[in-house]
Structure formats: structure tokens, C-alpha cells
Structure 1
Amino acid sequence: MDTAGDPEGPRSPGGDGPPGSTGHASTWLSREQLFVLISAASMNLGSMMSYSILGPFFPKEAEKKKASNTVIGMIFGCYAVTELLASLVFGKYLVHIGAKFMFVAGVFVSGGVTILFGLLDQVPEGPIFIAMCFLVRVADAISFAAAITASFSILAKAFPNNVATVLGSLEVFSGLGLVLGPPIGGFLYQSFGYEVPFICLGCIILLMVPLIMCILPNYESNPGEQSFWKLVTLPKVTVLTFVINSVSACFGFLDCTLSLFVLKKFNLPAGYVGLVFLGLALSYAISSPLFGLLSDKMPRLRKWFVVLGNFITAGCYMLLGPVPVLHIKSQLWLLVLILVINGISAGMTIIPTFPEILSCAYENGFEEGLSTLALVSGLFSAMWSVGAFMGPILGGFLYEKIGFEWAAAVQGLWALTSGLTMGLFYLLESSRRRRAKIHNTLGTEEERTALLSDEISS
């Protein structure tokens, strides 16, 4: 099926074609593309606010209901595990379910679950409260996995030559949701109590559902024969999933350790700790569209972005503490500066990975359609969830055992390893293609010589 609003039909996937291969495509968005962007942006904003609103006050309320710190951590952690499993399932069966239906259903369930979370303070304390928290959190993760998997697939279908640009631009709304969620939730909690933040946000998300149902185009496709196993076992895809894990784990590490370190090291009031995170969130949200645009306009830069981004991230985590062997005094301005650089390096690393995986799939025989887009979207979401689960667990353990400075350095080694692995793979890939090109050139010359010899003999 051709792209909505695109009279020229299908083009080279992911923008990997030579310059000028797109013909005279208009730079203006079609009506369908604009509606897709509005739907995806509203989903990103609402989902990220729903995800981040828990941070300021839910742990305190859970403690009142006799939930231990370990159990509270598990309630947060089960989200990533559930999203991992759900993303793989939804990626596999998106074509059967329908992309639009999955998107709308995910947003609808997310709004309802957010309201239910606001009613948990009415549940009896102890095991019943804990069980309900797990059920609601699992349902929230399933709804988000459905919405985000369908969103990635629809966006890639609607913008086949600008995937990275669109995904990078929408990260602005994800970052905005992460930034706005905690302060708005904290203000409503202090002013009106526990229920109001969740009920207000849940109602706003539910009001988005009729709008999305009306404006979102309906993309249909036949089921494909490819599988997740075939996709993930491609060597390049395997290495790229390791990169996705690394970036996601770095974010997860900071979620569970940075606030504790800042409170202990700099004696900041609790209200100011959230401002420290703004440097990371804002720099990531602002830089992502730029790296997306560059990735689409100059696809050859993607490999450099991924490798360089990992190296810069590794350096940032060495300097977060900083690691004691550097003998650099820890200062608040330095910490904020490093977080800003880390946000930029994260955008540089993660934005090119989706079009890289998509291009690799097409190069290895995957059909150009919604079925392949669903597989790639599900894989991307699942691998991000793996890092989001492992990062906080490993970070919390290392923080208790060796302190923040060394724990951050160990996390930086993860990014360094993924960067080195990715760089080595690209070097081997370039060498292999160069040898293949030389072999093809020699073969052509031998055939031409043989043909000339036959003509002379005749």
C-alpha cells in the first residue's frame, strides 16, 4: 500500500537511496501525514506524563499502605518487563489486529488505567493494595506497548523517507511529558490530594480518543512471513539492539540513583532535585529532531552518530561522579553540564537506530510493508524495555556496594563496550563491501575480456 498522500508511490526505505532518488516530492505535509503527527504527538505527551507522574508522591503513599521499598521498586520495575513481552506480541500480530485499532485501544486503556491508579488509595492496605498496584501497572504497560508499537509502525509507513526526522521530532513531546509530569502531579497532589492528579490526567487522555479515532488514517496490510527471530539474528540488528539496551539502561540508572546522590552530595532541598534532571530531558528533546533530520538527509552519518554518541555517553558517566581516579572535585555546575551533554549524546545514539534496523531488514529480504514495520517497532520497544529494566536494578545494586561515582563509571563501560562493538562491526561491514565491490569489478573485466576474445576469434 502506498504512503497516504504520496502520489509518487513507494521510494527507497529509510532514505538510503542516492541523492535525488525521491524525485520532486513536495516538502509540504499531506493532510493524512499531519493527522498522523498530531495523533502520535498527543499519545507521546500523554503517555510520558502518565509514566512520570508517579515519581514525586506515589512511593510515599505506598509506604503508608505497608509496601516496602523493595516492593515499591518491583511495582516500578514490572512496567518494563511487561512492556518487553507485550511489545514482541503486538509487533508480531499488529497486522492481524490493525494498526489504528491497536493505537486507539492502547490510548483508551491507558487513560482508564491512569484513573484507576488514582483510586488505589481507597484499597485496603497490605497484600490487596500491593496486588492491585501490580495489576494496574501491568495493564498500563500493556496499553503503552500497544500504542507505541502501532505509533512507530504508522509513522514509518506515513513517512518512509523521513523516519528518523519524525521520530526525533516527536521526542520533543516525550521529553515535554517527562518534564511536565512530576511538577504538575506534585502541585495537584499537594493542593487536592492523591486522586486528583491521576483522574485529571486520565480524563485528558480519554478525551484524546475520539479525536484520534476521527483523524488517524487506517493503514492495512497483509501478514508477512518474516519473524522476530529472523530479524534479531541479523548480525547488524543484534549489535544495534545492544546499543538500544545501553542507552535505555543509562537513563534507568539515573532514575534510581541520581536524586539520592544529589541530595547527599550537595544538600539540595528536595524540590530542587527535579530541576537537575531538566538538563538531561531538555537537551535530549531539543537535540533529537536535529539528529533525526541529519540521519535522513545524510544516511551515511548514522554509523558515526551511533558510535560517537556511545563514546561521548561513556565519557559523561565517567565524569558524573566524577570517578575517583580522575581526581576531579564534584561540583553541581559540572554535574548539570555533564547531564546536558549526556542528553545530546543520547539523542545522537538512539535516533538513528530505528532507520538503521529498518534499512537492514529491507536489505536482507524483508518485504516493504506494515508487517515489517511492526516487527521493527516491536523489537525496538522491547529492547528499550530490557535496558529500562536492567538499568535501575544494576544501578541500585552498584550504588549500594561501591557508591555513585564508581557505579556511574561501570555504567559508562556499558556504553563504551556498545560503541566499540558497533564501531568494529561497521569497520568489518565496510571492508566486506569493499572486497565485494572489487570482486564484482574484476569479474566484469574478465567477462568483457572473454567477450572481446570471442569476437576477435569469430
Structure 2
Amino acid sequence: MAKLEEYSTTRKSIIMATLCFVYTLWGIIYSLPVPFFPREAVASGLTLAEIGIIFTMYPVALFVFSPVCSMLRINFHVIIFLTNSRIITTNSMDKICYQSTLIQTLLTVTADRVKIYDVGRTLKFMHNRMHFLVMALIIRFVQGIGAAIQGIAVESAIIVLYRDRIASAKGLMESFGGLGYAIGPIIGAGFYALGGYSLPFFVVGSTIVVLGPVAAFVVPMILDKQATPWKSMLKLIKNFYIFILCFGVFVQESSLTFVETNYSIHLVSFHLKVVKAAALMLILAVCYATMGIIIGLVSDRLGYRKFLGAGYFIAVIGLEFMGSFPYFHVRPKLWHFLLGMSAFGISTGGVMIPTTAEMVRYARENNVGDDLSVYTCVTGLFKMAQSLGMICGPAVGSTLTSLPQLKFPWTSTIFGVVTFFQFLIFAAFVLYETFCAKKSDSNDGKGNYSQISATDEEDDGNKEFKSVVANESEDENIDNKSEK
């Protein structure tokens, strides 16, 4: 594995700045077509259900390929992508950030071909709706594949470079990713108003094409030939605590995507216009982006579990407030929703930011491993749980919200109950491990790898000393027997 001392503080800062910009553009790409694509798709003859399936292709690809890419990252150094009749190759998965971004860029830049074709210098809508649907599904799915490759490569490199400050680095990157996700619809709507359907894709796609070579030059090559990703993945999957953390990511992401896809319907009862309703969503994004940085910095010092437990509990409070406590027959009010959304944004930072660092810490201290294969597998499991939540949240939430007996208030309450169940499981495990298990864990997840490594070195030295003493005693016994 690459040695940390090879990278100076200045080099790490440049790498972090570049990757934060990449994450911002990544968020913009994901949410860029949200304000105008459904309208154009309906005009092309697609139903709302088919549009939902198109948007679902992205997290489906992310769910399928995240664990695969996390295990193939170590063993495969040549990746070939066939996109837009071009073959893109790379000699290292650490340089894959450029190729995975470029694969999304090429599809994004040519996305207008899905919908339109050129007839006498005039862009017309595609008349065959089935061709439009199939191509849109393929493009969105391949974009998800590129996102999976990019996410694994970037986050595993960040864990290697900032092993003692994983939460701080992830908090900073997630904040920029959330910023991109928040401003993506605004950028998409603005360029769509200026130049039509193709302009947003050309502008953002061209920006990423320019950034791609820069990222490929800046991101270092990090390899570990001795890593065994398959064994690391099996060990992580079998661990119950890792499952609890992944389930927490799934529940939080499901609740988040449920709110994103159904809150506008709920706000109709408050007689808010579309622009004001969309602006309210910025509250959640701002709370998450702001608290993500703060939680990352503080959790590296005070411990990750404290913030995870607080994040689960605050999420329950936020979801119950957004639902206005229907079991108490309280009349829904706008300030209930605003307060609940703010609390939920803070809780999302408390859950999403420390989880990766806590998984790495727990794997290190429980003999799962502390190498590049563990980092990539941890990132793969996190992305898989997150993408599964992106699939189930809108599907389950929209289904329950459409029922007249439930609607948004009771659905939000149900998600709050599931989150509270996750909080109880997490608290029970932590209490059991603290008071019942025969294991001292005074560090409580601070990620101080230098102390852990020193302890391990002492243990290895003691083992070697004991083996030497045992060999000397055996030699003495043999000599005594020969003399007799």
C-alpha cells in the first residue's frame, strides 16, 4: 500500500480540492435534468411511471456495481469502456476517476440524441417513444456504472490519504457533493431556459471533459498487491455490527429520498407555489452541508459512535415533526415541516459522515484488516446501502403517500418508526459491547491509527520473543536427552 509520507500536506490539499470539485460536478450531473426532463419526457409520450423507472436506473446500477467495483479495483489494472463508439483505456484503477467521469460526460453531452434528431437544421422530438425509453434507460444505467467506479476509486483513495481524519475528509467532500446536488436543478433550469434541452448537458459535460485530465494528473496511483478484497468483503458481510451500520445508511437514505420526492405534494395544503416549495428543500441541503463539515471535524476527536447515535435519534424527531404527529391528531402546520426538515438535515450529516470512518475503525480493531482491500470494500458496502435506499425510498414512500388513509403525515411517521428501530438496535449493540463483552474499547472510535499500530507492533514483538524462547527451551531438552 502507498506510504502516507510520500504525500506532503500541500499535495494532499491539492488532491482534496480537486476531488471536492469533482464531487460538486458529480452532484450537479445527478440532479441536472430533474426540473426539465420529466416535462420533455411526457411530451415525448412517456408516462410518469416510466419516467420514475428512468431515474431509478442510476441507483440500480450503483447498487449492482458498487460491491463489484470494490473487489475488482485491486486486481484489474486495465479497464475498457465502450462509449459513443470510442474505447477508453486506463492502466490503473486509481486513474479511473477521469474515465468514470468521462463516461458520464460523453453520455451527458450526447443525451440530446436520445430525444431529438436533426431534420433540416431543426431539432425535432423523437417520434418513436419506445426508442426514447430504451435509450434513456441505457444512458441513465451507464451513468450509474460510472458513478460506482468513480465513488469507489475516490473514497478509497481519500481513506488512504487521511486515515487519521477520515470523517473530516468525507464531511468536506460530502458537503461539496450536497452543494452540487442542490444547485444542479437551478443550473439545469437556467440553461434550459436559455438554450433548450441540449445546452445544460453541453455546458456541464464540457466542464467535466476539461476537469478530467486534471483529475487524472492530480490523483495519485495507490496500489496494494498483497490485498485480498474477496476475503475482506466476506469478513465484513459476516460482521453483525457492519450490517447495523449499513442498515442505518439504508434507512437514512430511504427517508431522505422519500422526503425529496413527496414533500412538494404535502406542501400543496399550505398553498405554496412551486418556486417557494423548491426553495424550502435548500434548508435540508444547507443543514447537511454545514453540519457535515462540523461533524466530520469533531467526530474524529470525540468518537464516531456518539454522532451516529445522535444522528439516528434526531432523524426520528425530524420525521415526526414533518409528519406533524398524526397519532396525536395535531393539525399540520408549516413550521412543523420547516423544523423537521432542519433537524433531518442535521441528522443526515450525523449518520452519513462518520459511518465510513466507524466501519474502518471497527474492521481494524477486530482483525478484519487495515489495507486497501478493506477500504474499497467498506466504500462498496456504503455505496450499496445508500443506493438501495435511493431505490426503496421513493418507491415505498410514494406508494404509501398515495393511499388516502396515510398520505404524507403517516408515511413520514412510519419512516420515523423504522429509524427509531435502527436507533434501538445500534444503542443495544453499543451497550452490550461496552458493558457485557470482554473487550476494552476506551478509544470509542477516534480513529487514532498510530496508537493501534504501535500496540500491534508490541504484540508481534511479544509473539516473536515467545517463539524464540520456546525454540531455545526445545533445544535444551534435546541436548539433555542426547547427553543421557
- Aligned-pair CA distance for 1:368: 2.3
Aligned twin of 1:359: 361
- Aligned-pair CA distance for 1:211: 0.8
From the superposition, tell whether residues 131 and 435 of structure 1 become closer, same or farther in structure 2 (CA, over 3 Å). closer
Picking from 169, 182, 187, the partner of 2:185 is 182
Whole-Å Cα distance in 1 between the matches of residues 4 and 71 of structure 2?
A: 23
Aligned twin of 1:340: 342
Matches within 5 A, 1:299-314: 299=303, 302-314=304-316
Whole-Å Cα distance in 2 between the matches of residues 261 and 328 of structure 1?
A: 15
2:98 is equivalent to residue 104 of structure 1: yes
Q: Deviations over 1:336-376 (max 9, x none)?
A: 22211111111112211111111121223233222211111
Aligned twin of 2:427: 423
Structure 1 counterpart SS, 2:425: helix
2:290 is equivalent to residue 286 of structure 1: yes
- TM-score where L is the length of structure 2: 0.82
Whole-Å Cα distance in 2 between the matches of residues 176 and 436 of structure 1?
A: 40
- Aligned-pair CA distance for 1:2: 4.5
Matches within 5 A, 1:405-416: 405-416=409-420
Structure 2 counterpart SS, 1:377: helix
Structure 2 counterpart SS, 1:352: helix
- Percent identity at matched positions? 25
Picking from 23, 31, 39, the partner of 2:10 is 31
Picking from 256, 260, 263, the partner of 2:261 is 256
- TM-score where L is the length of structure 1: 0.87
Structure 1 counterpart SS, 2:386: helix
2:74 is equivalent to residue 95 of structure 1: yes
From the superposition, tell whether residues 435 and 288 of structure 1 become closer, same or farther in structure 2 (CA, over 3 Å). closer
Do 2:108 and 2:205's aligned partners in 1 also have CA atoms closer than 8 Å?
A: yes
Whole-Å Cα distance in 2 between the matches of residues 334 and 414 of structure 1?
A: 20
Aligned twin of 1:168: 171
Matches within 5 A, 1:371-382: 371-382=373-384
Picking from 106, 129, 134, the partner of 1:131 is 134
Do 1:5 and 1:33's aligned partners in 2 also have CA atoms closer than 8 Å?
A: no
Whole-Å Cα distance in 1 between the matches of residues 314 and 306 of structure 2?
A: 12
Do 1:279 and 1:337's aligned partners in 2 also have CA atoms closer than 8 Å?
A: no
Q: Deviations over 1:279-323 (max 9, x none)?
A: 000000000111111111122xx2221122111111111110313
Amino acid at match of 1:303: R
Amino acid at match of 1:104: Y
Q: Deviations over 1:30-57 (max 9, x none)?
A: 2331232023212210110010112111
- Aligned-pair CA distance for 1:426: 0.4
For this pair of structures, how many residues does the alignment match? 413
Whole-Å Cα distance in 2 between the matches of residues 340 and 257 of structure 1?
A: 17
Whole-Å Cα distance in 1 between the matches of residues 386 and 235 of structure 2?
A: 19
Matches within 5 A, 1:227-246: 227-246=232-251
Structure 2, gaps ≥5 residues long? 78-91, 117-125, 442-484
Aligned twin of 2:89: none
Q: Deviations over 1:153-176 (max 9, x none)?
A: 000001110000000011221121
Amino acid at match of 1:101: K
Structure 1 counterpart SS, 2:300: helix
Whole-Å Cα distance in 1 between the matches of residues 435 and 128 of structure 2?
A: 62
Structure 1 counterpart SS, 2:128: coil
Structure 2 counterpart SS, 1:345: helix
Q: What do you get for the CA RMSD once the two structures are aligned?
A: 1.7
Do 1:261 and 1:404's aligned partners in 2 also have CA atoms closer than 8 Å?
A: yes
- Aligned-pair CA distance for 1:436: 7.2
Do 1:5 and 1:30's aligned partners in 2 also have CA atoms closer than 8 Å?
A: no
Whole-Å Cα distance in 2 between the matches of residues 433 and 37 of structure 1?
A: 39
Do 1:118 and 1:195's aligned partners in 2 also have CA atoms closer than 8 Å?
A: yes
Do 1:252 and 1:392's aligned partners in 2 also have CA atoms closer than 8 Å?
A: yes
Amino acid at match of 1:261: H
Structure 1, gaps ≥5 residues long? 8-28, 438-458
Whole-Å Cα distance in 1 between the matches of residues 211 and 368 of structure 2?
A: 34
Do 2:236 and 2:242's aligned partners in 1 also have CA atoms closer than 8 Å?
A: yes
**For structure 1, which segment, 129-138 or 313-322, has the greater mean C-alpha deviation from structure 2 after superposition?**
313-322
Whole-Å Cα distance in 2 between the matches of residues 209 and 178 of structure 1?
A: 19
Moved over 6 A (4+): none
Structure 2 counterpart SS, 1:351: helix
